[in-house]
Amino acid sequence: MAKITFDGIEIEVPDGTTILNAARKIGGNIVPPAMCYYTPIKGTGGKCRACLVKVAAGSAKDPRPMPKLVPSCITTVQDGMVVENTTNQSVLDVRKGIVEMLLINHPLDCPVCDQAGECDLQNFAFEHGVATTRYEEERRTFEKIDIGPYIQLHMTRCILCYRCVYTADQLTERRVHGVLGRGDAAEIGTYIDNIIDQDFSGNVIDVCPVGALTDKTWRFKSRVWFTKPVNAHRNCSHEKCGGRVVLWYKGKDVLRVTARKDEYGEVKEWICNECRFEKKETADWTIEGPAHIDSSSVISANHYELPVVNPQVIADLPESSVRDLENNPPLKLGR
């Protein structure tokens, strides 16, 4: 076990844990953002530099600070390490620069992007970026292309995080897409115009942090904050498919199906294309109940989890009123 101090908070974690995952065990606003790292996908991390932190002391044996900021997603902890994130102004300044770099070629088309409202880059820019840009050069652009029966690639929005490439490597028998070219000419594409049509290819949509890979069956049907997310499951015949999903309702219609994600936006269990694209009737699923949406998310503006009544308010109510609420509750009672 290694004991580290992260933004003044001590925590003990197993040897080999990355700084980012150690911070996630603490939780809260001190957790560095991550645009390329994705826990369930092997090989991710170290590309976007969004999670850079300052190591003020390398270890108990060698307390010297590291000379440069390090990516927390691929740097493992050492016993006695002292890490600074939100408490170090240089880290916050560099993070603003990272946002600026990621937005150099990224179109500011959030009002027409299907990823708006659940976009990692949108959240990252809002929390750590600046309101203006210094970039005056011509941005690189690409035509939108269909790379399969269900997926559309809008390369202009891509930040080259490689998540989709590693996901395909991990879940499919034969990956047919990857990063083509080098440097500022690099782009995601398919080899010799192959299409992506594997049983689990739809998962690249869930792992994409921006609107570069989108679900063609969902495009332009609704804003995500106008939909109702509901947890559901079914017994799927695919061995790798968990069968536990989120159904996104508008009225009585299921507009899309996605894998369930944790608080850091990472998929908990992969789902197959049959569950994602072909099972869009309520009768296909066993409904579990409303999916939890973080209160800071724009999606929560239309969420229908019942608010909790302050216990003091309940204490001041007549007993008959409390019984009425318990028998026919318009609200949850926070006892």
Tens digit of pLDDT for each residue in 297-311? Answer: 777 665 544 445 455
Closest by alpha carbon to 233, among 289, 292, 285, 291? 285
User: 73, 34 in Cβ contact below 8 A?
Assistant: yes
Write down the mean pLDDT value for the chain.
85
Tens digit of pLDDT for each residue in 105-144? Answer: 898 888 889 999 999 999 999 888 887 788 888 888 888 9
Closest by alpha carbon to 82, among 7, 1, 193? 7
d(CA 280, CA 121): 29
User: 163, 36 in Cβ contact below 8 A?
Assistant: yes
Query: Which residues neighbour 150 within 8 Å (Cβ) at sequence distance 6 or greater?
Result: 201, 202, 215, 216, 217, 273, 276, 277
User: Rounded to two decimals, what is the model's pTM?
Assistant: 0.81
Tens digit of pLDDT for each residue in 234-245? Answer: 999 888 898 999
What are the residues facing 267 on neighbouring strands? 261
Closest by alpha carbon to 209, among 177, 256, 164? 164
Structural domains of the chain, ranges and CATH numbers in brackets: 2-101 (3.10.20.740), 103-132+139-215 (3.30.70.20), 224-302 (no CATH), 305-335 (no CATH)
